[in-house]
Structure 1
């Protein structure tokens, strides 16, 4: 019998999986360890623990539905850009992009639909940009989903983000009619105090927002303000840093 050694992280352990063992590392002969499969707990259990080396094997042709040839994470313009490529796809629904700050507990960021309509024999490229990362290590992985609900995890890509100062990346649109959008990167979690004054220095609006360590998108509604020139002052209460920006209300 021909055995194929597999490394699998999936929602279901196939019934064709076997736990095999051998007593001599130089011996090419493996034997069935006669493990008991629990499909609910996704475990293989043996009561006779003799053997020097163990491996997972299969009696069936369990080819992976997606061949992932590339998965990278890098910082581009203070954003984390994830890129991955597949060499082939079969029954592929798409990919959940997941992130963790400790490498153990992951959260879902986004679902990227498969490009090949489920099946492909050519190289396909994917990407996702994360603007809500945290300072320090950020762990990313892909959860590739089949159309039948089964899934496989990719390897984990780790990137360290070092934030040294608060940065206002974007302030738009300007001129503005209804709502201003601010993209701010902060090294710390803090309250953000926003004060808007007219050209005479009179305060016409003041509000606060909570920002996290990493990238933050803040929306400021100015639809009820009169047409004219204004100044926005932003204070990071945790660090005392101050940012100012001039804008025109249409």
Structure 2
């Protein structure tokens, strides 16, 4: 794969399957909301400019795959037992690959999405865990619910990921109630320019339903009941972008902060290239909830804007938040975001901006095409956040048929 030009990106507009070699070279493949599958079971069926070495340099300049956060987009690979398969996933700012080694069984299909946003419910964690990494996590899926145990190795970057003690890093898995500690794990910080990693060996993997994601995040473990072994700088609860009459208002809240200098507000018009548009001071260190806001007044009508936060420590460490979007409407009827979080435990939401008061209809269908739920709402003009509780529905993939003032569109939702 090689695309000329300054931006080394190839975007997908539909699902695709490769039965040969995916040669990423030094480009990146943006699946957006689609699935790119590699059917070739050879471990070397994906190649990068930097090769498939046992350790990886912390750079995305050697080829990677990215997908739209909150969508079904992902990289999938057909696997055979006993082989180790690289999933070169990441973003322009964070290269965080995963390696999966099925240990027994037959041919299977795994897929991975890298999510550069805070995991949901970070404060709901096992007693052995002091923190959940707020910067990113992975969605890992296995097609066959009954299959072999596998080794899952997650790569991280020691300094940007705020790892203070490699021996006390663990992998946490969301079990629909809290973040479980998958310890015992093995971690290593190789010398030189190579990335550190943490591996869970022989993960049994419940995978109760085909293609329902398991969420895996980095976590810090307690050295003792009252001593935190590793502190991530900020626990971000949410980030929202709300269009006003002639500006866009950002609101966010933290559950805790450690050594936090503040937040650089970054904006983009394509969701890829960001630049700074403002700064908000942090409060340093706190164990209580803190709310922040920033109003972006340099915006144009009918232009979609993407925002994220770059959190900066007093010692220079930094991390990026999830990306949110907003649009000021003028001369068009409405704009709508996607379900977030997605995948969800049943509690999810989406934003909708209406030029005039109107109606919203939702019809939700399961993977068999059966209608399972309807929702109707009358909305005022302006920006609204629509909250949904689908926790009574079985886990699986759902398709939402939405109608806004008579115009139909479709979105996909995963319930875990």
TM-score (norm 1): 0.48
**More contact order relative to length (CA 8 Å, sep ≥ 6):** 1
TM-score (norm 2): 0.31
Structure richer in strand, relative to its length: 1
